[in-house]
Structures are given as C-alpha cells and as structure tokens.
C-alpha cells in the first residue's frame, strides 16, 4: 500500500476508535452556540469563491450550497460556518497542488513535499484564524464569546468534514482521503486533546 492508503487506514482507525467519544462531545460543542449571533452567511465559502485581483479580494457566488433547498440557504446561521468552510478549503488547496505536480517525487523529496503542504495548511489556517480572532476581540459586540468560539468552530469543522466525506464518496472517491484525514485530525484534537492545528 502507498502512503496515502496508509494515511486513510490510520484516519479510519482513528475515527472508528473515537466515534463514541465524538458523539458524546458533540452536544457540549453545540451548547457553546447558545446565545450567539445568527446572520445571513455565504453558505458555500471556500477559496474557490475568492477572487484576488490588483491587491484586493472579491467574494463571489453568494447563493449558498447548491444541494440545499432555498429556504435552508436563506436561513440565518453562525458566521463560523463560513469560517469552517474556508479553513477546510486549505486542505483541498494543498491536495490540488500535490495532484497537479508535474514531477513525480519519491522518497525524501516526496516526504519534503508532503511536509510543505502540511505546513501550508497549518500556517494558512493559523494566519486566517489569528486575523479573525483579532477582529472578534476588537468588536464592540462580539458575535460569539471570544473564550468559547473555538469549540463552536470545531463543531462546524466536524459538520463540514462530514459533508465532504459524503460528497466525495458519492462524487469523487479519489478525493475521499482529504476529508477523511481532516476529520481524523480534527476528532483527535477535539476529543483527545492533541495539539491544536488551528489555534
């Protein structure tokens, strides 16, 4: 088996081993959303919805997740749902770069490339969340408690990863390792208390 098969096997093992603990943790994560602001959100926010041009960024396609009914797409929700969508898209950006590499690397070169992609995901997520945290803390009326927002973000990251797993299984099985590994890392961090990759 190649490294990706081993990674998927480890991810599946982690998810199976921690399934009950995750189920037990979800109500507590959801409870942190009590009393937080709901607003209209993008609903399908990821890097593909951001156009960068002339030193500026434009966000496009505000119609929400196309598979959802219109009423669900128009419903108010936590802005952290969009944050989770963008964070998850860093994994997909790294995977797209790795898949589009024109040179097939082996051995140490492949390990370095994988380490670089992993570092990109960690640092891009941390940079985005640091900026988000700064805006949240300086807001006259924070839309979520600055002390508990990570728990609610974890809930939406789990929700987004679960959606991605179902989507990839139905439409692009070759991409399934991306959300499986993402979900396994998230569950291990949230439930097991391993180091926070997006703190």
Is the model's pLDDT at 199 over the cut of 50?
no
Across the range 89-102, mean pLDDT stands at: 85
Distances, alpha carbon 125 to alpha carbons 47, 79, 86, 132, 177, in Å: 12, 16, 9, 10, 19
Is the model's pLDDT at 8 over the cut of 90?
no
Least confident of 14-23, 27-36, 104-113, 169-178: 104-113
pTM above 0.75, yes or no: yes
Residues in the chain: 199
Q: What is the rounded CA–CA span in Å between residue 152 and residue 65?
A: 20
List CB contacts of 47: < 8 A, sequence separation 6 or more. 86, 89, 90, 92, 93
Least confident of 1-10, 31-40, 41-50, 126-135: 1-10
pLDDT tier at 195, thresholds 50, 70, 90: low
Across the range 86-109, mean pLDDT stands at: 83
Q: What is the rounded CA–CA span in Å between residue 100 and residue 155?
A: 31
- What average pLDDT does the structure give for the chain? 88
Contact between 197 and 86 under an 8 Å Cβ cutoff? The reply is: no
């Amino acid at each position: 088996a190649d490294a990706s098969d081993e990674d998927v096997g480890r991810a599946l093992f982690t998810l199976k081993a921690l399934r009950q603990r995750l189920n037990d943790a979800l109500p507590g994560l959801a409870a942190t959303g009590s009393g937080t602001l709901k607003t209209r959100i993008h609903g399908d926010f990821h890097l593909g919805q951001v156009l960068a041009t002339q030193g500026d960024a434009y966000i496009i396609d505000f119609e929400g997740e196309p598979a959802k009914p219109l009423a669900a797409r128009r419903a108010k929700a936590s802005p952290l749902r969009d944050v989770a969508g963008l964070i998850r898209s860093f994994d997909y950006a790294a995977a797209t770069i790795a898949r589009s590499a024109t040179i097939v690397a082996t051995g140490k070169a492949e390990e370095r490339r994988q380490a670089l992609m992993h570092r990109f995901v960690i640092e891009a997520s941390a940079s985005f969340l640091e900026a988000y945290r700064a805006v949240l803390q300086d807001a006259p009326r924070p839309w979520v408690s600055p002390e508990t927002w990570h728990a609610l973000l974890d809930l939406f990251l789990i929700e987004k990863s679960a959606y991605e797993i179902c989507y990839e299984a139905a439409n692009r099985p070759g991409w399934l390792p991306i959300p499986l590994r993402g979900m396994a890392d998230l569950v291990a961090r949230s439930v097991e208390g391993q180091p926070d990759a997006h703190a």
